Amino acid sequence: MMFSEKVAIVTGGSSGIGYSTVIEMSSRGAAVIIADVDEENGEAAAKSVKDKGGIALFKYTDVSNATHISEMVEKSLTEFGRLDFAYNNAGIEGQQALLAEQKMTEVQHAFDVMINGVYMSMQAQIPAIMESGGGAIVNASSIWGLNCWPEWSPYMTAKHAVSGMTKAAALEYAAKGVRINAVAPGPILTPLLLRGWKNDPDKASGRVPMKRIGRPEEVANAVCWLCSNESSFITGHVMPIDGGMNAEIG
């Protein structure tokens, strides 16, 4: 299989796009560390993989906590002896409000999870991947990491930061065997989208040129492709997966 004897970490892997990525990576032969704060769903995700004959472990991980991140990567090394891929997917929607009305505690939490969490994860993952002979990292940006939407400034700011740090890190490690890219999903049918659109996904699909919402597995397939040798000459790219939204508004 494509990822036979490879090891991957997926943060935010207990639900939504993260869970779909866990399933897709496992189906391609990878052993997967599921890193999440949702212990119940994380353990269930690992069991789902094992029930299908795959290999997965759950590791409780708050990506805003540097110690948790170090332990997450160490888990991969102690259990499997290597780390080949990482999908830094953990995120939150943040608070919906005008910028001047945002509560800084909420803003800081969004930044801790989606900016610092991705940055610190890469800091821990890159040396481990290099020691394993090279590999790939995919970060979760967003269509709103390439464009903007009012009243969600913490989320927009964080996702723009992810797009920027992805490109910066890609340049730094391009000659060192670590490819680093990001996916930028548009509206995808996940719990996060349903909360953000108040359980009315039709409102979201109306903005998409393809006139439908994406499926989590469509993003997961792109993540797996960016980790695979089929994308071996691609690094520093932020890939929209959005049914044409970026082409229309970008």
Could you tell me if 9 and 77 are in contact, meaning their C-beta atoms sit under 8 angstroms apart? no
Residue 191 CB neighbour total at 10 angstroms: 10
End-to-end, the C-alpha distance of the chain in Å comes to: 37
Residue 194's Cβ-count burial label (10 Å; 0-12, 13-18, 19+) is middle
**Among the options 19, 87, 155, 173, which is catalytic?**
155
**Using an 8 Å Cβ cutoff, are 214 and 183 in contact?**
no
Closest CA to 179 of 138, 124, 140, 219: 138
- What are 116's strand-pairing partners? none
Positive or negative CA dihedral for 100, 191, 227, 79?
positive
Instruction: Please give the Cα distance from 10 to 157 (Å, whole number).
Output: 22
Query: Residue 11 contacts by C-beta under 8 Å, 6 or more apart in sequence?
Result: 18, 35, 36, 61, 63, 72, 86, 87, 88, 89, 90, 117, 121
Q: How would you list the strands of the sheet with 7-11, edge to edge? A: 55-60, 31-36, 7-11, 85-88, 135-140, 178-185, 238-241
Is 173 in the active site? no
Return the active site residues: 155
